Structure 1
Amino acid sequence: MGILLCLPLALLLLGAVSALHLENTVPALQSPEVELGWGLGGAQEQEAMLTAGDKAKALGRQDEDGEEAAESDAAALDKDLPCPGEEDTIPIQQDPGCQTCRYLLVQTPERFSRAQNICKRCYGGNLVSIHNYSANSRILLLASKINQAQVWIGGILKGWFLWKKFRWTDCSSWDFGYWALGQPQNGKGRCVALCTKGGHWRRARCCRRLPFVCS
């Protein structure tokens, strides 16, 4: 009889211990905070898997997109600004090989977008496009006399990824280049400047303020 009474008591104790163990473990599995923490950890692991190159490319794209947006905003604000005075401009001698080619050097430094806007609004043209060595040398001859290292010409990098190409703002064909050593591959910026020493071209950030040549 004593054995029969002890058996139910042992079963009750075993059940109580099992219930206590289950109570301590189940909430941890069902806790929303734990599930949310796991989700955040997975996202952090994915972020950590991004290579430095991927991040650099993403930052580069953001930088170019921001630069292009800033140019558009600047051009919209420049519509009512006055044109440069005659004292700020120098006409470049006409190219004998091109009777319709007329160049004007504007000495006042401007951003690329505003320089293009001034060329179009004030002189009915565009930033200069250069299609041969003779024209490049003629522009260099005068640009080298001002106290600036570079001047804007009308080249700009357009497009996305593999479709990126340098284009002229006057939409003429890109059939000539006079790049400095390592350019344009190692350059930064989407806009093209002509160096006043040597006449070679370099990429430059469009937000820089430089003198410029209109045609």
Structure 2
Amino acid sequence: MNLPVLLALLLGAASALHLRTPNFESPGGDESQPQNGETAEHEAKEVPGGELTQLSIDEDGGSGSECALEEERAVKAISDLGTVDKSFQCPKKEDTVELVGSPGYKTYQRYLLVRQPMNFNYAQYTCQCCYRGQLTSVHNFNFNNHLQCLIRGLNYGQVWIGGLVTGVGHCRRFRWMDNSSWNFGYWAPGQPAIYNGHCVTLCTRGGQWRLSHCYTQLPFICSY
């Protein structure tokens, strides 16, 4: 076979191969259609990052322990607000006001306003030591409004109740010092704001709740 004939056969085979190549592309021949790798990357970007973060948190077996540890630290910090010294004395009777006629509560439950300002830790200790009770918990609007009506004459703008907020984000926990269920809240606008503190106060005007630094000296309400 001479050289010209051989070259012609090679060129014909190459042309046939080139003509068959489009058969491997999409029928529409749309060159802008993304490939599999590009499509997967685009879909991954559309998944909200918060969902991915939350998923990793939920699947993390240690996340619950982490939240429990954070709460334990916060509670310990409150218990360390001040060691009650040997000279501690219960409030004088003239510094307390019996709160009567509390609606929606069992008849044996009593409530006492202590007008002597104390930090959260001392207030809780006073309720326990002097009255065998706890800083009060609030579980409905009627009782919250009742308390506010009884304390609105105080010169202080806020009083301690027994609420405590620990942690942030998925670790945030709400608890009452008497270990009752947290089934009600009456927060002021913008609350609860952890940067203001971790301990819950009830405002003497309006009755809304705010977080305050636990070392703040305020009057408080005991239940016993």
Question: Shared topology, TM-score over 0.5?
Answer: yes
2:21 matched to which residue of 1? none
What letter corresponds to residue 105 of structure 1 in structure 2?
A: L
**Is 1:127–1:169's contact at 8 Å kept on the other side of the alignment?**
yes
Distance 2:208 2:183 in 1: 16
Distance 1:160 1:142 in 2: 33
What secondary structure does 2:127 align onto?
helix
Distance 1:156 1:197 in 2: 21
CA shift in 2, pair 1:78/1:170, >3 Å? farther
2:209 is aligned with 1:214: no
Distance 2:134 2:154 in 1: 21
Distance 1:160 1:182 in 2: 15
Correspondence for 1:149 among 150, 157, 177: 157
**Is 2:138–2:184's contact at 8 Å kept on the other side of the alignment?**
yes
Give TM-score, length-normalised by structure 1: 0.64
**Is 1:187–1:202's contact at 8 Å kept on the other side of the alignment?**
no
| Residue 72 of structure 1: how far off its partner (Å) | 2.4
Distance 1:166 1:185 in 2: 13
Distance 2:221 2:155 in 1: 15
CA shift in 2, pair 1:165/1:149, >3 Å? same
Q: How does 1:129-148 map to 2 (within 5 A)?
A: 129-148=137-156
Question: In the comparison of the two structures, how many residue pairs are matched?
Answer: 152
What letter corresponds to residue 76 of structure 1 in structure 2?
A: T
1:101 matched to which residue of 2? 109
2:83 matched to which residue of 1? 76
2:199 is aligned with 1:191: yes
Distance 1:179 1:187 in 2: 15
Identity of aligned residues (%): 47
Q: How does 1:148-187 map to 2 (within 5 A)?
A: 148-159=156-167, 162-185=170-193
CA shift in 2, pair 1:141/1:204, >3 Å? same
Q: Which has the higher helix share?
A: 1
**Is 1:150–1:194's contact at 8 Å kept on the other side of the alignment?**
yes
What secondary structure does 2:135 align onto?
coil
What secondary structure does 2:196 align onto?
coil
CA shift in 2, pair 1:66/1:103, >3 Å? same
CA shift in 2, pair 1:68/1:170, >3 Å? closer
**Is 1:127–1:214's contact at 8 Å kept on the other side of the alignment?**
yes
Gap regions ≥5 residues in structure 2: 1-70
1:116 matched to which residue of 2? 124
| Residue 66 of structure 1: how far off its partner (Å) | 9.2
Give TM-score, length-normalised by structure 2: 0.62
* Superposition CA RMSD, Å: 2.4
| Residue 100 of structure 1: how far off its partner (Å) | 2.5
